[in-house]
Amino acid sequence: MKYRKLGNSGLIVSELALGTMQFGEKMNMGGLDQEETTKMVNLALDKGINFIDTADVYSLGESETLLGNALKGIREEIVLATKVRLPMSENVNRSGATRVNILRGIESSLKRLRTDHIDLYQIHGWDSNTPLEETLDTLNDLVRQGKARYIGLSNYLAWQAATSIQIQTRNHLEKYITAQLHYSLVDRGIEQEWTSLCDYYNMGILVWSPLAGGFLSGKYIKGAQASDGTRFSEAGRFIPFDRDKGYTIIDVLKKVAGRHRVSPAQAAIAWILKQPCISSVIIAARREKHLEDNIAATDLELSDEDLLELDEVSHPGYSYPKWMVLQLDAAEDPRPKALYPERYADKGPWPDLRNTEWKG
C-alpha cells in the first residue's frame, strides 16, 4: 500500500480507502451483517488501508454502528471519516447543514462509531436552505471542541467550495481540506473546474465510486439486463453516464488491463491514482475477493501508452469557459513557455487554435 497526505494537512492516509455503503441492509447496496463487516474491515487493515469513510445516512446509521463494532480496540489505528447533511428521518429538522442538525449528527455518529472524535467530518452536500456562515461556524466549533480533527465537503459545485473557503479565510475559521467527489473514466466532469480549484487551494480529492457503480469492472454486457445481485439490478442506475460511450471505454480498458494481466477494475482505479490532487480513492465491495482485487490496483503502474489510450477514449472535451481559459493562458500568453518549458516539451497543455486549418 502507498500513502499520501490528506489534502492540506499533515495527516497520512492510504491512497485507497475503505468505503462502507455496503454495510447494513437499508440501502440495497450489499446488506453485509456484523460478521461480514468485521471481516471486510480486517482485510482492509491487513492490506495496509488506514482510512475508512462512512456517513450517518448509510443504512440510516446501521453502517456506522457495524463499523464502530468492527473497530473496537483498533479505533486509534485508523483515520475515520464520516458525513452529515442528508435526511435521517421524515422530521424536517433531521436534514441539512444547520447548526441543529450538525450538532445532533456528530453526537449520534460518535455514539454509533464508539469513539470520541471524527478524524474527517464532511458535509455531504450543499444546503441551499441554510446560511453558509451558519454551517461553517458550526464546523469550526466542532474542531475547536476536539470532536472533529479536520473538515471536508462532498458533492459541491466548484463555486460553492470556493465561496466557502473564502468565508473561512476571511473569518479565520477552520478550512475544508478535502472534497469528496465522483470521478471515473465514464464521468470526468470534475476536470472542468474542480481539479484546478483543488490545485489552487491545495485540497485533496477523495474519489467516490471510481468504478461507476461497478460498471468499469466490465461485468455488464451491452444490451443485456443487469445480472441479479449487482449494483445496477438492486439499486438502479444511481450514476448517470453515456452508456454507449461507456462500453467503448470498457473495450479500451480491457485492452489495457490485458497487457498487465489484471482486471479492468484495477486498471480503472490505477488510472485515477495518476490524476492530479487525489488524496485517496474510496473502494467498496460485497465480497472479499472483489475487495482484494481492487486493493491490488495500488501496485499497478500504467505506462504512458496506457494512460494516453485511456485518456483519449474517455476525454469529455472542454466546455466553455475552460477552453478559452486554456487558449488564453496556455497557448497565447508567452510567459508560461518561458517560466515552465517542461510543460511544453510534448506539444503543451493546449493546442493554439489561432490560424489552424479548418477541415470540414
Active site residues: 58
CA 18 to CA 46: how far, in whole Å?
Answer: 12
Give the DSSP letter of residue 23: B
CA 277 to CA 294: how far, in whole Å?
Answer: 20
If we measure between CA atoms, which residue out of 164, 172, 246 comes closest to residue 203?
164
Cα separations (Å) of 167 from 79, 163, 255?
A: 27, 6, 47
If we measure between CA atoms, which residue out of 203, 205, 311, 317 comes closest to residue 267?
311
Per the CB < 8 A criterion, the answer to whether 205 and 278 are in contact is yes
Cell of 4: 499520501
User: In this structure, what is the dihedral angle of CA atoms 60, 61, 67, 68, given to the nearest 10 degrees?
Assistant: 180
User: In this structure, what is the dihedral angle of CA atoms 93, 97, 103, 107, given to the nearest 10 degrees?
Assistant: 90
